[in-house]
Structure 1
Amino acid sequence: MAELVYPPVIGAARALFRALDLRFDIDGTEHVPRRGGAVLVSNHIGYLDFVFAGLAARPAKRLVRFMAKEAVFRHKVSGPLMRAMKHIPVDRSQGEHAYRHALRALRSGEIIGVFPEATISQSFTLKKFKTGAARMALEADVPLLPVALWGTQRLWTKGHKRDFGRNHFPITIRVGEPLSPTEGESATGLTERLRERVQELLESAQRAYPVRPKGPDDTWWIPAHLGGTAPTPAEAGSR
């Protein structure tokens, strides 16, 4: 079936990025499979992360179907777009329906996008990963594709006003080699291995990031362990 909505939305997003003069550093896109199912897994630090994680698959000419909370699908603007792009609504009180929907899509050769932290990390460090992505990969017999994003929190994130000015924000994206389960590996073990890989990619993205704080008032987007003033994981968890 022809994709009538997704490609124009991608084109509009790219036009917006040009207008905002975003500077992209994307590495590892050769790891995105050209065909067949896969579970793309990314850290979550900003409201637009699904757009940026999806960009990682475009050099392979793949479209990512993201799992997102049901409220997004009820919005009068985003709802019709999300449905037309075949993203998957998740009702957290009845998650099994979304899980089965995602499995069918994986088995039909789609890439499903998942944020295993389940919510934005306000500390900008990795939260604990839920096991759903690994369980889907195991059950559908497809690889996990680890992705790390950095810099997206500076545009729009929880607890801060969005900044869509022409501030030349760099956006760094790292894609790792696909992970497949070892013989007899559990979903918990695979999730732990996946989180370690995303952590490695995140640290690589942070090291490569070309911008440093402009002053003491520009450290909110940097994790506390890197010298910034973002809340620690413990502080963020209490909010």
Structure 2
Amino acid sequence: MLYWLMKYVLLGPLLRAFWPTKVTGLENVPTEGGAILASNHLAVADSFFMPLHVPRRVTFPAKQEYFTEPGFKGRLKKWFFTGAGQFPIDRSGGAAAQAAIDAAVRLLREGRLLGIYPEGTRSPDGRLYKGKTGVARIALEARVPVIPVAMIGTDQVNPIGSRMWWPHKLEIRFGKPLDFSRYEGLAGDRFVERSITDEIMYALMELSGQEYVDIYAARAKELIAAEKAGLRPAVPVQVGARDAARMPESRAS
């Protein structure tokens, strides 16, 4: 109830009024049954604009810190993110990571739409980074299609580090569903899961027009932070995917 109230009464009309959005390929999102919407990730705003334009409810995993902060501000955040269709996950790794995958698979088997950012975190510079294989594991275990989604312009609305949202035209592109049924029964095979994840990231690169970089976004953020601190990054950040993959790692001096 809270989700639909936020979408159609409280937040949705405001977003539609101030941020006109061109949406293409929405017919690729199934009208029923479980499916993964795998999106590039440019800004926090992605999790608000994409579900706004999908007729069905979209559920996103979100870091549990959004739901556990104490005090009035914490309760307000929990109410807000719950209303936005997000559920908490522990990102500390190990058993917590498996619990997050299990929760996602359960939702998909219930016939829901699950929003996932394969990069794992926001792009630090607008480029597309290497995907984490959790999306492949979930797709295989739940036996659902993956719809690639390209968010364009949200990093201009909500730049990293900015508390303000700025007027800017947006575009959302929904690609054709990717069917991985040919890999049925191979969940847990790391080579298969990497192949599936790379196929998803290639579809996102084609759909979004972003430059692809073959390192994880979290690692890129570390390199950018080291560069700003005057340290030599282990791998130059301003390189393409092939160059980054070929370069040997060097130590900061």
- Judge same fold: TM > 0.5, yes or no: yes
Report which structure shows greater RCO (CA 8 Å, sep ≥6): 1
Match of residue 203, structure 2, among 194, 197, 202: 197
Partner SS for 2:129: coil
Give the corresponding residue for 1:147.
149
* CA positional deviation for 1:9: 0.6
From the CA coordinates, give the structure whose radius of gyration is larger: 2
User: Deviations 1:172-193 (Å, cap 9, x if unpaired)?
Assistant: 1000011011524711111000
2:33 corresponds to 1:36: yes
Cα distance, 1:163–1:88 mapped onto 2, change above 3 Å: closer
* CA positional deviation for 1:88: 2.3
2:76 corresponds to 1:77: yes
User: Deviations 1:121-144 (Å, cap 9, x if unpaired)?
Assistant: 121111111011111011110001
- The structure carrying a bigger helix percent of its residues is 2
User: Deviations 1:108-132 (Å, cap 9, x if unpaired)?
Assistant: 1011111111111121111111011
Cα distance in 2 for partners of 1:180, 1:237 equals 35
Cα distance, 1:97–1:145 mapped onto 2, change above 3 Å: same
Aligned partner letter, 1:9: M
Is the contact made by 2:124 and 2:221 (CA closer than 8 Å) also made in structure 1?
A: no
Cα distance in 1 for partners of 2:132, 2:202 equals 13
RMSD, aligned α-carbons: 2.3
Match of residue 138, structure 2, among 136, 139, 154: 136
Aligned partner letter, 1:163: W
TM-score for the superposition, normalised by structure 1: 0.77
Give the corresponding residue for 1:219.
none
User: Which blocks of at least 5 consecutive residues in structure 1 are unaligned?
Assistant: 207-222, 224-232
User: Which blocks of at least 5 consecutive residues in structure 2 are unaligned?
Assistant: 69-73, 187-191, 212-218, 226-253
User: Deviations 1:188-231 (Å, cap 9, x if unpaired)?
Assistant: 1110000000111101xx8xxxxxxxxxxxxxxxx8xxxxxxxx
TM-score for the superposition, normalised by structure 2: 0.73
Is the contact made by 2:140 and 2:181 (CA closer than 8 Å) also made in structure 1?
A: no
**Sequence identity (%):** 34
Partner SS for 1:77: helix
Give the corresponding residue for 2:100.
98
- Structure 1 stretches (4+) deviating beyond 6 angstroms? none
Give the corresponding residue for 1:64.
58
Q: How does 1:1-239 map to 2 (within 5 A)?
A: 4-11=1-8, 12-20=10-18, 22-58=19-55, 62-74=56-68, 75-83=74-82, 87-93=86-92, 94-164=96-166, 167=167, 169-181=168-180, 183-184=182-183, 186-203=192-209, 237-239=223-225
Aligned partner letter, 2:193: A
Is the contact made by 2:108 and 2:114 (CA closer than 8 Å) also made in structure 1?
A: yes
Cα distance in 1 for partners of 2:175, 2:33 equals 17
